[in-house]
């Protein structure tokens, strides 16, 4: 997969360059705007479920908790920055006790930066950082209605390891989700 020493510049399929780096407190406004911009996109509902916009005050509490988890070694967050603005992020939320060897992964990319490699590069970076901190297993739950995400996870090396019937409900209708797993080879 290559060596990911962060920060790292990555040239996207469309020629733009992003910088992958660790999340910083100064990213608060960009992450809030990214989250709320995706929440407004109706076409994302079948993929991500219903996301509600969040107020600045409410997200300040969430973001403070994220920063605290990062500082305590309980979470990894990597952002993709383009021209000084965050356009995507990937997270790994580490387990504890008997599950301390694994993490749940999430990726969110801003419209206009999808299908050019941002998600793939963020996912590769989160895999490498997870390996660096000693994790052995990465997991993600993805809606079967989101073939783009399933493709990206598969391209990076994740495998479908399970299916949850009726895993998500949208507009009163159920859809399945799949669990994607990545075993880190340095076990």
Residues in the chain: 187
Residue ranges of domains in the chain: 8-134
Is 80 within 8 Å of 113 (Cβ atoms)? yes
Predicted pLDDT of residue 162: 97
Superfamily in which the 8-134 domain is placed by CATH: Gcn5-related N-acetyltransferase (GNAT) (3.40.630.30)
Question: Predicted confidence band at 8 (pLDDT cuts at 50, 70, 90)?
Answer: very high
Distance, CA of 42 to chain centre: 19
Reported as a single tens digit per residue, the pLDDT across 87-99 is 999 999 999 999 9
Check whether 1 has a pLDDT greater than 60: no
Reported as a single tens digit per residue, the pLDDT across 103-152 is 999 999 999 999 999 999 999 999 999 999 999 999 999 999 889 899 99
Check whether 80 has a pLDDT greater than 50: yes
Predicted pLDDT of residue 3: 52
54/137 Cα distance (integer angstroms): 31
Reported as a single tens digit per residue, the pLDDT across 145-175 is 889 899 999 999 999 999 999 998 877 889 8
Whole-prediction pTM: 0.92
Strand partners, 91: 77, 106
Predicted pLDDT of residue 187: 47
Reported as a single tens digit per residue, the pLDDT across 36-57 is 998 888 766 655 665 788 999 9
- Name the residue among 168, 111, 171 with its Cα closest to residue 142: 168
List strand residue ranges (DSSP E) for the chain, in order.
8-11, 17-22, 75-82, 85-94, 102-109, 137-143, 159-170, 173-183
Q: Which residue has the higher pLDDT, 9 or 146?
A: 9
Is 180 within 8 Å of 123 (Cβ atoms)? no
Is 122 within 8 Å of 87 (Cβ atoms)? no
Is 102 within 8 Å of 95 (Cβ atoms)? yes
187/150 Cα distance (integer angstroms): 25
């Amino acid at each position: 997969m290559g060596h990911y020493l962060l920060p790292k510049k990555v040239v996207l399929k469309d020629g733009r360059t992003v910088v992958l780096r660790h999340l910083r407190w100064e990213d608060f406004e960009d992450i809030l705007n990214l989250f709320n911009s995706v929440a407004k996109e109706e076409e994302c509902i079948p993929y991500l479920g219903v996301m509600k916009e969040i107020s600045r005050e409410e997200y300040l509490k969430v973001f403070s908790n994220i920063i605290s988890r990062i500082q305590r070694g309980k979470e990894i967050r990597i952002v993709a920055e383009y021209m000084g603005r965050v356009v995507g992020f990937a997270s790994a939320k580490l387990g504890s006790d008997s599950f301390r060897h694994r993490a749940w992964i999430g990726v969110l990319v801003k419209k206009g930066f999808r299908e050019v490699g941002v998600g793939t590069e963020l996912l590769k970076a989160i895999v490498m950082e997870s390996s660096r901190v000693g994790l052995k297993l990465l997991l993600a739950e993805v809606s079967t209605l989101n073939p783009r995400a399933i493709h990206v996870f598969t391209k990076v090396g994740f495998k479908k390891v399970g299916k949850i019937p009726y895993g998500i409900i949208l507009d009163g209708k159920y859809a399945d989700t799949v669990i994607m797993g990545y075993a880190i080879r340095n076990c």
